[in-house]
Amino acid sequence: MAKPIKKEPVMSVKGMHDIMFDDVHYVERVMKEVRRVAEFYGFQPITTPHLEKTELFERPLGEESDVVEKQMYNLRTRGGDKLSLRPEGTASVMRAYFEHGMQSLPQPVKLVYGGSFFRHETPQQGRFREFRQVGVEIIGDDDAINDAISIRVLFSALQGLGLKDIVINVNSLGDRVCRPAFRKELLAYYKRHFNQLCKDCKQRFKDNPLRLLDCKEETCVALRKDAPQMMDHLCEVCKKHFSEVLEYLDEMGIPYFLDVHLVRGFDYYSKTVFEVFEIMSPPQVVEEGDEQGVKPEVATFTKIALGGGGRYDDLGELIGNRKIPAVGWALGVDRVAELMKKKSIKSRPETHPKLFLIQLGPAAKKKSLVLMEELRKIGVPIAHSLSKDSLRAQLNIVSKLEIPLAVILGQKEALDGTVGVRSMETGIQETLPMDKFIGTIKSRLKEFS
Ligand code: HAM
């Protein structure tokens, strides 16, 4: 008989991981909180497919963007269609807007979505190949109040998740009217310093000069300091729009930092752009002299953004041949969940069981099934080990779980219609009729909350 070939066990794909146990609760909590706040502000949920036609992303996101150029998971169907696993959600939501005739609904249309997205990036801390996002889009209105409302939802959701040290970095990228002149000046500046640019930036200089401002290489970061700023080139319309956004943020008391070099990874942005970060060290407050107030430039932020977004008034033309102004953002759910864990924020409201069910003998085991369902109906979580039959094995488990009360159902109790309730701290046990136990257990458990 041929010897079986020893095979390595099949593992998950690099950069794509299983999410297990309490981590699932974290992911769900982030998604739910964003949806809860968004729905309060009138957003409606939408779910779009994981696979889309490749062309939906190519031009709209930017043919020279890192995501389109290097990170898309592309495939060809047997019929020859070119499809891609979605790398982000905005293009899909915009497609859905046109496909379902949402222009005929009252504008703006406000949508909230979430799920898995895919980018073939080098996996590292907070960067995966399959990751989750939750985001909102406000489509069909160019008023600055929409930019502010979207940021309101972002900020409130993060606060609702217990994340207090959050700052929004904002900038304006101008529009088709004012950006070309800025681009020209930027190119002139970087042309003078071309030899100091890193290899990638030499390419960016040709393909996508705005992205020069986003390079993390030391020499490029140093060059950025004296680079021209879009803020100095904004046309009157963009200037007014941006100052309105900032006024609304001031009015709502949302902390922001004007990051004049902030650019984003996709080509579709215009006017407002923003990213949200955890503050690592708080801004320094200066109390004396001329420079009273907060000096945000002294604050340090985490390097990786928790989320980002902005206005994309030209995307509609690329996807649906119509100019439809819009604004939105997406939050990196995995990154937010990680931060919550780091800060010991709970994944969900307290549901740790305070009761453990011990059953002894076949009749009691059957009765346990009924008792557990009764407790579920009145909302009392209970731990158990129905597959263990010995008292000692079950008591061993209770002691490890730090549960204050054990409910004991033995052969005698099963016949009598009673249960034993034992305090794990004192060892004192009382016997109660089953109906009395169900009627009083909720209030008794309050002692342990
Ligand atoms: P983005 O900045 O590419 O924007 O992604 C938003 C957030 O998703 C990031 O800030 C980050 O937290 C998370 N993220 C991105 N890539 C990864 C990754 N490889 N691993 C883990 N997390 C990641 C967008 O996707 C735009 N569609 C946002 C938007 C909505 N703009 C307007 N509307």
CATH number for the region 355-448 comes to: 3.40.50.800
* Mean pLDDT score of the chain: 92
pLDDT score at 286: 45
Please report which residue ranges of 286-332 form alpha helices under DSSP H: 315-320
Please report which residue ranges of 282-431 form alpha helices under DSSP H: 315-320, 333-342, 362-377, 391-401, 411-416
Q: How much distance in Å is there from the Cα of 331 to the middle of ligand 1?
A: 6
Is 62 touching ligand 1 by the criterion CB < 6 Å?
no
Separation CA 127–CA 124 (nearest Å): 5
pLDDT score at 301: 63
Averaged pLDDT, 208-217:
91
Query: H or E stretch including 27?
Result: helix 22-40
Nearest CA to ligand 1 atom 30: 329
Q: Does residue 144 surpass a pLDDT of 90?
A: yes
Encode 326-361: b = buried (16+ Cβ within 10 Å), e = exposed: bbbbbbbbbbbbbbbeeeeeebeeeeebbbbbbbbb
How is the chain split into domains, by residue range? 22-178+234-342, 355-448
Percent residues over pLDDT 70 in the chain: 94
Averaged pLDDT, 146-152:
98
Banded model confidence at residue 183, pLDDT cuts 50, 70, 90: very high
pLDDT score at 283: 52
pLDDT in tens, 379-416: 999 999 999 999 999 988 988 888 999 999 999 999 99
Give the residue with greater pLDDT, 322 vs 288. 322
Banded model confidence at residue 443, pLDDT cuts 50, 70, 90: confident
Nearest CA to ligand 1 atom 31: 309
My answer on whether omega of the bond before 108 falls inside 30° of 0, hence cis, is: yes
pLDDT score at 302: 64
Is 316 touching ligand 1 by the criterion CB < 6 Å?
no
pLDDT score at 399: 84
What is the domain class of 22-178+234-342 according to CATH? alpha beta
pLDDT score at 295: 45
Q: Which of 61, 131, 132 to mutate to test the pocket of ligand 1 (most atoms within 8 A of CB)?
A: 131
Banded model confidence at residue 299, pLDDT cuts 50, 70, 90: low
Give the residue with greater pLDDT, 124 vs 289. 124
Q: How much distance in Å is there from the Cα of 330 to the middle of ligand 1?
A: 6
Q: Where is mean pLDDT largest: 217-231, 239-253, 427-441?
A: 239-253
pLDDT in tens, 235-271: 999 999 999 999 999 999 999 999 999 999 999 999 9
Averaged pLDDT, 350-367:
90
Q: Does residue 273 surpass a pLDDT of 80?
A: yes
Q: Do domains 22-178+234-342 and 355-448 have the same CATH topology?
A: no
Ligand 1 atom with the smallest distance to the CA of 328 is 33
Banded model confidence at residue 281, pLDDT cuts 50, 70, 90: low
Task: Mean pLDDT check: name the lowest of 229-233, 297-301, 363-367.
Answer: 297-301
